[in-house]
Amino acid sequence: MNDWHNMDCVDREELAELREQKLLNTVKWAYQNSPFYREKFQNNSVTPEEVKELKNITRLPFTTKSDLRESYPFKLAAVPMEQIVRIHASSGTTGKPIVAGYTKNDLVEWSRLVARTCALAGVTSRDTAQVSFGYGLFTGGFGLHYGLEYLEATVVPFSSGNTERQLSLMKDFQTTVLVSTPSFALYMAEAAREMGLDPKKDYSLRLGLFGGEPCSENMRREIENQWGITATVNYGLTEVVGPGVSGECTCQEGMHLHEDSFIEEIIDPATGESLPEGESGELVLTPIFKEGFPVIRYRTGDITRIIPGNCRCGHTTRRMDYITGRTDDMIIVKGVNLFPSQVEEVLSGFKEVSPHYRLVLHRSDKGFVKDVEVQVELTPEGFTDSFQELEKLEQNIKNRIRSTISLAPRVKLMEPKSLERTTGKSRRIVEGEDL
């Protein structure tokens, strides 16, 4: 293992001391320099002096998405704006975007974190990596770009869109690593075949780094089979930095968290109480390296757990499990809680359907979800002219959903390739009236 792996192999006692020290510095820094945090601490009658050790973090108030919306655009800043050298923002579907500003040092730290994420996934300076994330306010493109460059890989900054050209260059440049959302990787394989190319034989890809949206195990295996690569998943969010929070090693058993740079907590989303290691709840993150826009105890809305025990790979950092849903993605239908990932899990048991699906919500006059339709695409092999067979499959899927989630949504089988493809993040939940 080279230097890139050092920080993920440190002695856990040393790591605990480092984390504590960095947390105390971050809390002081935010209080002294960010008017937003000074006010927040004061409103909650807490001072930085009360945080003497790591476990005291729970005395500090959470930061929520709506806090960050209210601090639009630059109220979170802890340095004069002339020291902010880059701005990113998360688009969000409603309201104002959430803005993140970076100092020069923040950008170096971020590049290092992403470089480590890529190294964990097996990327080296000998690789050529195509970045198919959008370059712009979204953190995916620039984040992966600078991290991969920091690692001294050869970067092809393609950005999103223009799938045919992406595929041509990827072939001609003998690109070895694809960096994109998992749904775009699947779409690219489909498009390559339509161009008469064989994704396994005509390309030199060996690794895929996928993130920005959930990737079920089924989807990962599908990507791996179609491209003949090892597909790893990585995680991050604009509010705390962007990509580079955690990522898988090639064991593919959870995402190693860069613990020297983030303090993680798992809480019960309903009560805010901390949950013990191994239990699933909402992930709360505190980055402990940021100067520009510090964030303390950010409620990510992402549901996961910390995987107990060490990874087989030898890295000592703890692992986050895959994100199983978002607190705001939970649909309540007739009193039953439903996450898209639960439906996806059920669908993955049927070889006749592809990983392309969506949930269409139909609401009552009062805005409650009264009915959900699961639209799922058949694979070309699963497609048949026999109405009876299709009806039987629909019924089987419906029964399986009912027995696992206690809900009987309508199921609609769609023709192969009929659901919208995206070059960015896919939309799994749509409102009936939007169609």
**Positions that interact with ligand DLL (CB under 6 A):** 90, 133, 138-140, 211-214, 233-238, 242-243, 300, 302, 323, 326
Q: Report which residue's Cβ sits closest to ligand DLL.
A: 211
Q: How far apart are CA 418 and CA 376, in angstroms?
A: 9
Please say which residue, 199 or 325, places its beta carbon nearer to ligand DLL: 325
Burial 192-212 (b: 16+ CB within 10 A, else e): beeeebebeeebebbbbbbbb
Q: How many whole angstroms separate alpha carbon 54 and alpha carbon 59? A: 10
d(CA 210, CA 233) in angstroms, rounded, equals 5
Task: State in angstroms the smallest separation of the CB of 42 from ligand DLL.
Answer: 29
Which tokens is 343 given?
């439906």
Q: How far is residue 126's CA from residue 124's CA, in Å, rounded to a whole number? A: 5
Minimum CB distance to ligand DLL smaller for 155 or for 323: 323
Closest separation between CB of residue 74 and ligand DLL, Å? 18
Question: Closer to ligand DLL at the Cβ: 131 or 205?
Answer: 131
Q: How far is the CB of 264 from ligand DLL (least distance, A)?
A: 14
Measured from the CB of residue 398, what is the shortest distance to ligand DLL in angstroms?
A: 27
Kindly state the smallest distance separating residue 125's Cβ from ligand DLL, in Å.
21
End-to-end CA distance of the chain: 51
Phi, psi of 312, deg, nearest 5: -65, -20
Q: Specify whether the CB–CB gap between 292 and 278 falls below 8 A.
A: no
Tell me whether residue 267 or residue 411 sits nearer to ligand DLL (CB atom).
267
Q: Pick the closer one to ligand DLL by CB: 48 or 246.
A: 246
Beta carbon nearer to ligand DLL, 31 or 322: 322
The whole-angstrom separation of Cα 294 and Cα 21 is 16
**Nearer CB in complex with ligand DLL: 103/324:** 324
Cα 263 to Cα 274: distance, rounded to the nearest angstrom: 13
Paired tokens of 239: 């509010």
- The two three-digit tokens of residue 57, written as one number: 């973090």
CB of 304 to ligand DLL, least distance (A): 9
Shortest Cβ distance from residue 233 to ligand DLL (Å)?
A: 5
